[in-house]
Amino acid sequence: MIKTQIETLRRELEQCNYNYYVLSAPTICDLEFDAKLSQLQKLEEENPDFFDPNSPTQRVGSDVNTSFNQVAHVYPMLSLSNSYSETEVTEFYDRVARTLNDDFELVCELKYDGTSISLTYQDGVLIRAVTRGDGEKGDDVTANVKTIRSIPLRLHGNFPALFEIRGEILMPWSVFEDLNREREAQEEQLFANPRNAASGTLKQQNSSVVASRKLDAYLYYLLGDNLPSNSHSENLLAAHRWGFKVSDATKVCKTIEEVFEFIKYWDIERKNLPVATDGIVIKVNALSQQRSLGFTAKSPRWAIAYKFQAEKAVTRLNSVSYQVGRTGAVTPVANLDAVQLSGTTVRRASLHNSDIIAALDLHIGDMVFVEKGGEIIPKITAVDKEVRFMLGDKVQFIKNCPECGAALIRYEGEAAHYCPNENACPPQIKGKMEHFVSRKGMNIDGLGSETINLLFQNELLKNYSDIYSLKISDLVQLDRLGEKSAYNIQAGCEKSKSIPFERVLFALGIRFVGETIAKKLAFALKNIEALEKASFDELIAVDEIGERIAQSVVLYFSDPINIERINSLKVAGLQMSLSEEKLQARGNSLTGLSIVISGTFSQHSRDEYKAMIEQHGGKNIGSVSSKTSYILAGENIGPEKLKKAEKLGVVLLDEKTFLSMIVTETANVE
């Protein structure tokens, strides 16, 4: 009896969610919905044997912090080729016509400006949600996606036993504006646009925060072995019947003229939509024809994105302020009269550097043209000099750092000005700490930018080496930091001590030393002591290390302050040399070989294969040329790479053959 009551309530609430979030046709009021949800929650708490992870009560999320696992995509998530004119769309249409040499239909859809997601359903139940990531693998964000009410947890109707559906996670304009108002009131950094806000929200490690952000989703592509139709448009209609939110702004076109009609209509009408769009996606409708057209290395040949022209507006320049980044780069920002642009209220625009300011001939009070076309921060493209009236001061780039007062410098060949006072300039210090604890660096949970700022203001952190001296007794006394947060920070610090040397080297924030360069230096020099002593000539002898990087590394290790901080990190227990395992794994069987990786693999990920190539002396390259030694080829190898390899006579290695080369060497070493 109780079980039946629980299941009935779940079905009713699922239908209510579908009516409200997918059909936009609510059948009950919020009060009645909340009453039913409370009743269900009470019954589930009293009868834990009937717990269901996909119950409507689970959409509120959990306040337990979780890290994300990397999951390989069954089908690579490629990006679309972009076009910006009717001519380029016509060229796409003509290419498809020539290749197919048959009648075909195109489907036009809105290109939603959010963050891509891949959802897997088994027996009608959502089992996994994965971000695009690098296209080959992404983050498993299932717990967060379950909080999005427009994404069904359980389907209804006649659906395949196993399939994947892809779409876009979005933050509606109204939610975005409300969120930024809240952040502004709390003196927190504002989100630049709904796309960034949606992406950042989806990566929150606390799913209850995700639930509070009211994300939305539109689904636009089905993948699987037993799809209902050979027609992409009919598959979307079927997905809608199963419970998915599919845009009704979709049109099947038989001629290029119909495509252009769709583009022209939505270029204007999109401004009335509740979510951000930045173009139109044009796809060949028949799946059999999609397969016939195939893929390039980066994108499908059967689809193209038409990007809308950037929106422009005219507004007044009131002042120019200056921001200092982690590396000391000083960026000028124009402060403007508020103006609506691409659905958001714009009050600031990037001026990039002193050369841009000089070229624009900017004066305070000028009426300026502001453009936002994929820019995170809008930019000023021109000045309306014809309406100049009561001209204010000419904008001159500052000579001293706005944060610490140090005289700015400009390196030869660079457009930016820099503050050289890296050890005493607050935004640089905090920026370096944020970089140090970032996911690709030391990956310390609990130390976000707001917490770092709080600790810096209270003088508990003066630089990144102080992080390992933080005490729980000091942390719990601060506003917004309770005992649980303090213990999480300490646990994150302890866990980070096992981060490998190459990532520690990246986390130090040495100028020009990114992830790949840090790895090259770590494997070439083996430990931090060797790196400290390395000369300029020794450094440029390392693969891919040029003069600029070598000079930066030498300069970094010549500073006694940096050496002191590194010594503190050594005492704290961080990994300052390559592990024995990596040293032993290193061989030379691939020395002198340049290898391209293409396709999907069953035994290891692409990143793992890249690491193996480097560990055995080989070099990873991205494209096939006459200098390519081999292609490590998995399933679904890019057709362009395959065609070029055949033309140049480049040998293809399968996984088994490649691994046997390395295993043989490892056995010989042992």
Catalytic residues: 111
CA max distance for the chain: 81
Integer-rounded Cα Rg, in Å, for the chain is 28
Q: Which helix (H) or strand (E) holds 329?
A: strand 329-341
Token look-up 């979030």 returns: 21
The sign of the dihedral angle between the CA atoms of 162, 164, 165, 167 is positive
CB 443 within 8 A of CB 437: yes
Q: Which value, to the nearest 10 degrees, does the dihedral of the CA atoms of residues 458, 463, 468, 473 take?
A: -10
DSSP H or E segment with residue 95? helix 86-100
Which H/E stretch holds residue 621?
strand 619-621
- Among 566, 605, 614, 552, CA closest to 586: 614
Pairwise CA distance, residues 484 & 410, whole Å: 45
Cα gap 278→651, rounded to integer Å: 42
CB 36 within 8 A of CB 66: no
Cα–Cα distance measured from residue 270 to residue 306, given in angstroms and rounded to the nearest whole number: 14
| CA separation for the pair 367, 388 (Å, rounded) | 7
Q: What is d(CA 460, CA 467) in angstroms, rounded to the nearest whole number?
A: 9
Report which residue type is found at 69: N
DSSP secondary structure, 399-455, as one string:
SB-TTT-PBPB--TT-SSEE---TTT-HHHHHHHHHHHHSTTTT--TT--HHHHHHH
For residue 96, the one-letter residue type is V
Closest by CA to 542, choosing from 520, 572, 526, 561, is 520
**DSSP conformation letters of 469-530:** G--HHHHTTSTT--HHHHHHHHHHHHHHTTS-HHHHHHHTT-TT--HHHHHHHHHHH-BHHH
Distance CA 607, CA 134 (A): 10
Among 182, 193, 221, residue whose Cα is nearest residue 114: 193
**Beta-carbon count within 10 A of 295 CB:** 19
For the chain, report the end-to-end CA distance as a whole number of angstroms.
66
The pair of three-digit structure tokens given for residue 266, joined into one six-digit string: 């939505």
